[in-house]
Amino acid sequence: MSNRLILGDNLEILKDMPSNSVDLCYIDPPFFSNRNYEVIWGDSGEIASFKDRWSGGIEHYINWLYERVVEIHRVLKDTGSFYLHCDWHANNYIAVNILDKIFGRNNFRNEIVWCYKTRPQAKCYFGRKHDTIFLYTKTNKYVFNWEAVVRPLSDSTRMKYKLSDMDGRLYRLEGRGIKGSPIKSAKDVEAKWEKTNPELVVRDYLDEKVGVALEDWWEINTINQSSHELIGYPTQKPVALLERIIKASSNEGDMCLDCFCGGGTTISAARKLNRQFIGIDQSVQAIKVTQARLEKETDLFNNAPFVVKVHKYDYDMVRESEAFEFERFIIEQFGGEANIKQRGDYGIDGIKKDNKINIPIQAKRSDNVGRNIVDNFETSMRRYYQSLSKQIPANVTAGYIIAFSFSKGAVEEVARLKREENIIIKLIKVEEIIPIAKKPKIEIGYEWKEVEAKTDLLPKCTDKKIIFKIKSADNSKIELYQWDFNYNKDKGFKADIFMDKTGMQERIFESGSYDIAAKAIDSDGLECIEELRIIVNGGVKGTKSEPIIKQA
């Protein structure tokens, strides 16, 4: 399995995943909370799922979640762990009606309480300042790396290691716990014991201490407006929380799944910690924010590659792919087997098994495929069937040609073959095999104005504020824009702004030359990148200098 992000309803995607394939699954599903605050992205996928959950009360929510947890349990390995993140709205229902039923009470390991201090303070009851994270394992043999997530020793504990050996290693003395020993507690041990009664004491070295094993209450700060991790996603969880979970319940190379991945915290942490990952979300925006997050982190933390599966394939990308790569991909998507050797194939690119006959396939990465291709294919088919000591079978499908589109001549020839020679060749368009669409097209427009500089220096001077505005060049519906204000084509798009619904950004620039790129993403998850180089000729600050911007 490869690292991947998948757009879609997790129930359907989980059903397609093999059993016993995941080591760790963490989910942070939409809480059974105030429904008005729940729609985050507002895209069509999210609204559909939102309605799905809210058409009934808590029972409906529990049923909705239950069927997903059944699938998660199935895809987990026998040594796998499951963390379910929820809060007071539904945690009692979830534990009893979902987790105990599916995983079994005996596989309950922890109810982790994640405590935080946020506003507002409650006045009618105690402030509800924790979330609950349930940990269940599939069986009683599971990964738990307690040493990977220990709490460091406190200063006061460290201070107790006052003695130093010949090598300078710090230690303290502990009683050996011998029956009748006068040493009843650590307090009773004194340095002199080591000389006078060495059999009663043992050295406890500081450098052998890994730390304190963690308890089930965790104090980790929530993401706030000044957090450096902030990507603008309202229910974004802190990386420290997910790192702890991943380190404790998986090993390097293990497969981690988050099928409600949102802004991709689990996925980013898993990749950073050298785990494999699968992220699923039904919102285009969530998947694309996660993708941008991973792309930004590439080179910084980890270069592990990943694929992103959205609703449609990009026409240009498929059309411009390398010929053999295209043949292989489209034939496999069609349910056939590609001819990898590309030799001794009688001009056949692959076969499709149908009632035990291997029907030949020809795949063309072109539009308007003409009659000559049908003629050539007919010859290839004859040779192919002859090699199997057969005639071209009559009145059943004898061959397939796959292409982007077919000419009138090709269609007429196929009809003639059927009518006059009982040979049936099926012409299959790529769009009948895979959902395919053109990516959106955009233009970046800009204007500028002078604004008073934020400085106390006198005389007051001005800055050049540039306002960028994206226009659609083909009327496609754009769900999300992202911006890279320091674009470097070789390094790829590294978002500075992950979530922009308006397509408008303002920035103040010093004099200089800047490469800027904007990405626009449509509702199918297809995206385009538009670049712009601007040269800001600031002239002397405080004077009106013109022109200030040139598009290179």
Ligand X SMILES: C[S@@+](CC[C@H](N)C(=O)[O-])C[C@H]1O[C@@H](n2cnc3c(N)ncnc32)[C@H](O)[C@@H]1O
Residue 397: other Cβ atoms inside 10 A: 15
- Which range touches ligand X (CB under 6 A), out of 23-31, 154-162, 319-327, 473-481? 23-31
Determine the interface stretch with ligand X among 167-175, 232-240, 331-339, 533-541 (rule: CB under 6 A). 232-240
Using rule CB under 6 A, residue 440 touches ligand X: no
Contacting residue, 5, 14, 25, 49, with ligand X by CB under 6 A:
49
How many other CB atoms sit within 10 Å of the CB of residue 303? 9
In whole angstroms, how close is the CB of 437 to ligand X at the nearest point? Answer: 22
Stretch that binds ligand X, among 28-36, 135-143, 431-439, 462-470 (CB under 6 A): 28-36
CB of 548 to ligand X, least distance (A): 39
Going by C-alpha positions, the residue among 533, 516, 498 that lies closest to residue 231 is 498
Least Cβ distance, residue 9 to ligand X (angstroms): 5
- Closest approach of ligand X to the CB of residue 7, in Å: 9
**Are 108 and 99 within 8 A, CB to CB?**
yes
Q: Using the rule CB under 6 A, is 237 a contact of ligand X?
A: yes
Judged by CB under 6 A, the residue of 3, 5, 6, 10 near ligand X is 10
Q: Closer to ligand X at the Cβ: 193 or 260?
A: 260
Nearest CA among 412, 419, 397, 416 for reference residue 334: 397
Of residues 281-320, which lie at the interface with ligand X (CB under 6 A)?
281-283, 286
With binding defined as CB under 6 A, does residue 427 bind ligand X?
no
Instruction: Return the number of the residue (349 or 500) whose C-beta is nearest ligand X.
Output: 500
- Tokens representing 43 are 């895209």
Q: Under rule CB under 6 A, which residues in 192-211 are in contact with ligand X? A: none
- Give the span between the Cα atoms of 260 and 29, in whole angstroms: 6
Which residues share a beta bridge with 83? 26, 135
75 is a contact residue toward ligand X (CB under 6 A): no
State how far the Cα of 109 lies from the Cα of 115, in Å rounded to an integer. 19
- Collect all residues with Cβ–Cβ distance below 8 Å to 386 and sequence separation of at least 6: none
Report if residue 81 touches ligand X, rule: CB under 6 A.
no
Longest dimension (CA), the chain: 111
Smallest distance from ligand X to CB 26, Å: 8
Least distance between ligand X and beta carbon 281 (Å): 4
Residue 131 interacting with ligand X (CB under 6 A): no
Which residues are CB-neighbours of 461 under 8 A, at least 6 positions away?
452, 453, 455, 541, 542
Q: Minimum distance from CB of 13 to ligand X (Å)? A: 8
Q: Can you tell me the distance from the alpha carbon of 385 to that of 184, in angstroms, rounded to the nearest whole number?
A: 91
| Residue 25, Cβ density class (10 Å: 0-12 exposed, 13-18 middle, ≥19 buried) | buried
For position 3 contacting ligand X by CB under 6 A, the verdict is: no
For residue 252, give every residue at least 6 positions away whose Cβ sits within 8 Å of its Cβ, in sequence order, or none.
273, 274, 275
Nearest residue (CB) to ligand X, 49 versus 107:
49
Q: How far apart are CB 221 and ligand X at their closest, in Å?
A: 14
Contact call for residue 279 and ligand X (CB under 6 A): no
Q: Which listed range, 192-200, 229-237, 330-338, 456-464, lies at the site for ligand X (CB under 6 A)?
A: 229-237
CA 491, 496, 499, 501 torsion-angle sign = negative
Restricted to residues 258-277, the positions that interact with ligand X (CB under 6 A) are: 260, 262-263, 265
33, with CB counted inside 10 A (0-12, 13-18, 19+), is: middle
We find the least distance from the C-beta atom of residue 261 to ligand X, in angstroms, to be: 6
239 contacts 268 by C-beta, under 8 angstroms: yes
By beta-carbon proximity to ligand X, the closer residue of 67 and 332 is 67
Q: Could you tell me the smallest distance in angstroms from the CB atom of residue 482 to ligand X?
A: 16
Q: Between 10 and 291, whose beta carbon lies closer to ligand X? A: 10
The CA-based angle 73-77-78, given to 5 degrees, is 90
86 forms beta bridges with 132
Judged by CB under 6 A, which of 32, 61, 114, 233 binds ligand X?
233
- Binder among 3, 236, 476, 523 for ligand X (CB under 6 A): 236
With contacts defined by CB under 6 A, how many residues of the chain interact with ligand X?
20
Judge contact between 361 and 329, C-beta under 8 A.
no
Spatial CB neighbours of 169, under 8 Å, sequence gap ≥ 6: 205, 206, 207
Binder of ligand X out of 76, 280, 466, 495 (CB under 6 A) = 280
The CB-nearest residue to ligand X is 262
Binding site for ligand X (CB under 6 A): 9-10, 28-30, 46, 49, 233, 235-237, 260, 262-263, 265, 280-283, 286
